[in-house]
Structure 1
Amino acid sequence: MEQTWRWWGPKDIISLAHVRQTGATGIVTALHDIPAGEVWTKEAIMERKRFIEDAPDLGLRWSVVESLPVAEPIKIGEGDLTELFDNYRESLRNLGACGVDTVCYNFMPVLDWARTDLAAPVAGGGRGLRFNQHEFAAFDCYILRRSGAEADYSEDVLRRAKVWFQSSDEEVRAKLLSNIMAGLPGAFDRYDVEGLKVILGRFKNVSTERLRENLKRFLDEVVPTAEEAGVRMAIHPDDPPWGLLGLPRIVGNEDDLAFIVGAHDSLSNGLTFCTGSLGANPKNDLPAMAARFAGRVNFVHLRNVTKDPDGSFAEAEHLGGDVDMVGVVSALLQEQKRRKDAGDPRWRLPFRPDHGHELLDDIGKPTHPGYPAIGRLRGLAEIRGVMTAVSQLQGLPV
């Protein structure tokens, strides 16, 4: 599997030289300065590609786009979408022409990943990301004051949410909003409470069924172009994999993935297999899902979570959580062998260590939440060890 690293562009405090020191050779990045819905020009793509690849001693390549964002009106199914679809198709053509041929995207309404604590303590003084169900409920019910929000939470969670809210002050509440908004990377908008109410209002008539219809329409519009451009798309699962703030989410379980891959029988309509996002759903059997959908996996995020009975979860050590990482890696290495034996020139699956704990002297550095260097380096090294062991024991290409 191709070892890659998410890099936030030329202003990232983790340099390309640092990335190469981790052992990664593939870069996962995006043109975050271009707003969702606008065209990625060949000139802009090549400028970033040259920046990554023009240092021959590093031997890096731009392996994966993460993400080419889908504009909110497409998810809503709102208004005349002709220009947005045209722009997305043009961006895919330009990426393919520039040799950047794997595109990760998501279809999560409003929020990308959501956490309530960006610095939850871990053993030895490190810090990690955590989603506390009662804190999110406190935000939803008492700060946002969304109508009908109480119906989405258990009595116990609501009780603890009320206690949390009553004991908090404005500074703590503002910090919670900031933490929840931190999952919107790059050029995406952040919302205050009133702004969040406005964008949620635009989704008020979008049910689970309608959001699925809108995703199907998106795939109908763009997958044929991706095929022509030689681009393999990879939808990212919802994080967490259930509805938030009254918004439906449709990429969170085995049935959802089956619907998506069934929408177009094409490797250009593929998946990002994220063990952290899917792993937060206690009903998901990750090794079984990896085996079932391996033929349509185009990109892999490997991280781990520990889950609580109330729906809360914490991001764990890469080999230390609830997810059977060895089982997942084994299924994906088996798929690599199948692709190689079939003569697929792009048989190696790109993967990256997703998120990581703040450890050692990374603690407190201004990295993107979840993306410190040392924690991800540790995760990459651990997964590299699993890959090496599995490949040797089973005779699989790594």
Structure 2
Amino acid sequence: MQQTWRWFGPKDLVSIDDVAQAGVQGIVSALHHVPTGAVWTPQEIAQRQAEVSRLKDGSPSGMAWDVVESLPVSEDIKKQKGDWQAHLDAYRTSLENLAAAGIEVICYNFMPVLDWTRTDLTYRMRNGATCMRFDLADFAAFDLHILARPGAVDDYDDALREEATRRFADMSDADQAQLAKNVVFGLPGAAESFGLDEVRAHLAEYDAINEAQLRAHLVDFLSEVIPTAERLGLRLCCHPDDPPVPLLGLPRIMSTEAQYKAVMDAVDRPANGITLCTGSLGARPDNDLPGMMERLGDRVHFLHLRNVTRETSEIRGSFFEAEHLGGDTDMVAVIEAALREEARRRAQGRADWSIPFRPDHGQDILDDLGRRAQPGYPAIGRLKGLAELRGVIAALEPRVDA
């Protein structure tokens, strides 16, 4: 399992020098400053590769840009409106340029409007650490009373509506503004962020798009780009919905094993693959993460290893980002399944036998609390998680390879 680390570029408060000291084997990055729908040029790609390859003193970092996360899919493509055909052409050109630069793994997602959703980016734990949290009642308060989405009242039962109304009444203007900012924070490091009016406008454009239609749009997108990826030797891998439940009246199509299998079967090519995120998928109690790794493993091109603690047993409920070995997902079982998949690939002679993974998210601890890096991406919290995951891998590898 190739150890990688997400880096957001020169503005990231966790520097390449810091990452080098973590001892990882590769970097996960993206050109966040390039607008969605535009071409990633060879010059921009080469610049990011150069930034990854050097420490501050100019000496080699010993690392390379190995995984793209994310090459974003535009809202126009997801809705098949506006400039979506031009954006498809740009996506294929970007794939050509990434392949020419030697990068083979490209993560993306197909979540409508918002790429991930949390209500608190600095939820305080008993030990003083902070983490990201999704509180369903706070989210309902945002949806019902701040965004004031038409039809939102039908998405919550009486008890949840009452709790959301009580919480909203207790919020100051600053609290309301902070909650709205947290919910629409979007993709970390991205060039774009949405205001509430923009969110409302995007939501209105999805009124006529249900789950089946959005899945059809994803299949259309893959039918256009997977032949290019296959010709170039690239592996595309779709990240799951985060959280993996419907929000804001929007359809969700990559939240369960059945949904992933439907898309893998619809475009049944090795280049069409999965980013198995144990944190996103683990927020649903009905997702069997070790089993998903076992059953869908031949199409898993990238792993996000993180954990969440669910606060209820409901499919849609509150949760917070836990320590990597401390949440509700059996991380040891997931890693064992991943190692078994790697062993199968080696036996088959697959060149992509080693599955890149990164310690996803992490709690802010120690110096992280003052550094204030990208929410969810602390230096020390992720390093702690990586150390724990390394220990599990070191313990399991000899047993799996025997």
TM-score past 0.5 threshold: yes
> In structure 2, how many angstroms separate the alpha carbons of the residues matched to 1:35 and 1:351?
26
Match of 2:48 in 1: 48
CA contact (8 A) 1:219 1:263 kept: no
- Structure 1: gaps (5+ residues): none
In the alignment, is the contact (CA less than 8 A) between 2:107 and 2:236 conserved in 1?
Answer: yes
- In structure 2, what is the Cα distance between the partners aligned to 1:17 and 1:118? 26
Please tell me whether residue 306 in structure 1 is matched to residue 309 in structure 2.
yes
* 1:89 equivalent in alignment to 2:92: yes
Matching of residue 150 in structure 1 with residue 183 in structure 2? no
Shifted more, 294-303 versus 307-316: the winner is 307-316
Residue of structure 1 equivalent to 2:68: 65
1:12 corresponds to: 12
Which residue of structure 1 lines up, in the alignment, with residue 386 of structure 2?
380
1:322 maps to: 328
Task: Report the Cα offset of residue 188 of structure 1.
Answer: 4.1
Q: Does 1:258 align with 2:261?
A: yes
Residues 89-141 of structure 1 show CA distances to partners (whole Å, capped at 9, x for unaligned) of 01001101110110000000010110001111113101001000000000001
Off by >3 Å, runs of 4+ in structure 1: 54-57
Deviation at residue 57 of structure 1 after TM alignment: 4.3
Structure 1 residue 139 corresponds to structure 2 residue 145: no
2-structure distance, mates of 1:340, 1:167: 58
Say whether the 8 Å CA contact 2:79–2:217 is kept in structure 1. Answer: yes
1:182·1:369 contact (CA, 8 Å) conserved in 2?
no
Q: Unpaired runs of 5+ in structure 2? A: none
Match of 1:189 among 189, 192, 205: 192
Instruction: Return the TM-score normalized by structure 1.
Output: 0.97
1:103 aligned residue: 106
What is the CA-CA distance between 1:206 and the residue it aligns to?
Answer: 1.1
- Counterpart selection for 2:277 from 270, 274, 285: 274
The answer on whether the counterparts of 1:115 and 1:183 sit within 8 Å (CA) in structure 2 is no
Q: Aligned partners of 2:82 and 2:9: how far apart in 1?
A: 33
- 1:49-94 C-alpha deviation (Å, 9 max, x unpaired): 1221256643101110000000001111114532111110010011
Tell me how far apart the structure 1 counterparts of residues 378 and 34 of structure 2 sit (CA, whole Å): 24
1:349 equivalent in structure 2: 355
Question: Do the aligned partners of 2:129 and 2:364 also contact (CA within 8 Å) in 1?
Answer: yes
Q: How does 1:108-257 map onto structure 2 within 5 Å?
A: 108-257=111-260
Which of 336, 340, 353 lines up with 1:334 in the alignment? 340
Matched, 1:391 2:397: yes
Deviates more, 1:128-137 or 1:38-47: 38-47
Number of residue equivalences = 396
User: What is the SS of the residue equivalent to 2:371?
Assistant: coil
User: Aligned partners of 1:10, 1:307: CA distance in 2, in Å?
Assistant: 35
SS of equivalent residue, structure 1 residue 123 = coil
User: Is structure 2 residue 298 aligned with structure 1 residue 292?
Assistant: no
| Alpha-carbon separation, structure 2, partners of 1:298 and 1:349 | 6
* Paired amino acid for 1:116: T
Q: Is the 8 A contact 2:186 2:193 kept in 1?
A: no
Give SS of 1:363's match. helix
